[in-house]
Chains A and B, each alone.
Chain A
Amino acid sequence: QKEVEQNSGPLSVPEGAIASLNCTYSDRGSQSFFWYRQYSGKSPELIMSIYSNGDKEDGRFTAQLNKASQYVSLLIRDSQPSDSATYLCAVNVQGAQKLVFGQGTRLTINP
């Protein structure tokens, strides 16, 4: 079992709708969780981090964490074509100070 798993998609969402991206992880002791966005041909960039159970909101983005279910999600409200990218879930493996990434989900927002 991979340490971090995502649905690779592609996920297609109409403009203005909510895009929902999901991620599960295997290390129950993990404490830090991150979402990176990667545009085609570019490097990944951090967009959200979450450390506690519940929701964390930043503008149109909401990260959700459920440690009991070992589940992290990212919601993008009022999706825009500029949100079209690959979204990578990353987990800071307990005590190792290294980020393990999922496969990434390719998201397309259709105008």
Chain B
Amino acid sequence: DADVTQTPRNRITKTGKRIMLECSQTKGHDRMYWYRQDPGLGLRLIYYSFDVKDINKGEISDGYSVSRQAQAKFSLSLESAIPNQTALYFCATLGHPNTGELFFGEGSRLTVL
């Protein structure tokens, strides 16, 4: 089983719908991240969390919200999806901060029509 699991892996939805992407991890890491990937734009940070009570906005948080339900779970929500939120979303965990080694889930491909 993967150490970082994302669900769903693929989702097609309509404009205005609420969508939740879920992430769970078995690595025991405190630090968790949500990134969005678009062609030619690399990975852009949406939100990150250092523990259950510490949540921080990234560079593109508008239109998104998150919930850290437990050390192992970090969910990303789109309250009212719009077409320009069509992208590949990655959840990741970070072990020791100095190593810079993020452990990524397999990604959730979201299409908003």
Cβ contacts under 8 Å, B31 to chain A: 97
Within 8 A of A (CB), among B57-100: 58-59, 90, 94, 97-100
With known contacts A97-B50, A98-B48, A49–B99 Cβ distance under 8 A: yes
With known contacts A97-B31, A97-B50, A97-B94, A44–B45 Cβ distance under 8 A: no
Q: Per DSSP, are chain A's interface residues mostly helix, strand or loop, or mixed?
A: strand
Residue pair A43, B97 in contact (C-beta under 8 Å): no
Q: Is A107 an interface residue (CB 8 A)?
A: no
Residue pair A102, B105 in contact (C-beta under 8 Å): no
Q: Is A88 an interface residue (CB 8 A)?
A: yes
Residue pair B40, A99 in contact (C-beta under 8 Å): no
Residue pair A101, B97 in contact (C-beta under 8 Å): no
Q: Interface size (A, Cβ < 8 Å)?
A: 25
Q: Is A65 an interface residue (CB 8 A)?
A: no
Residue pair B43, A101 in contact (C-beta under 8 Å): yes
Cβ contacts under 8 Å, A104 to chain B: 42-43
Cβ contacts under 8 Å, B45 to chain A: 98-100
A67 → chain B, closest Cβ, in Å?
Answer: 16
Residue pair B107, A43 in contact (C-beta under 8 Å): yes
Cβ contacts under 8 Å, A49 to chain B: 99-101
Binding site for B on A (CB under 8 A): 4, 6, 8, 32-34, 36, 42-46, 49, 51, 88, 90, 92, 97-104
Q: List 21 A-B contacts (CB under 8 A).
A: A34-B100, A34-B101, A36-B102, A43-B104, A43-B105, A43-B107, A44-B43, A45-B104, A46-B101, A46-B102, A49-B101, A92-B97, A92-B98, A97-B97, A98-B33, A98-B45, A98-B56, A99-B94, A103-B41, A104-B42, A104-B43
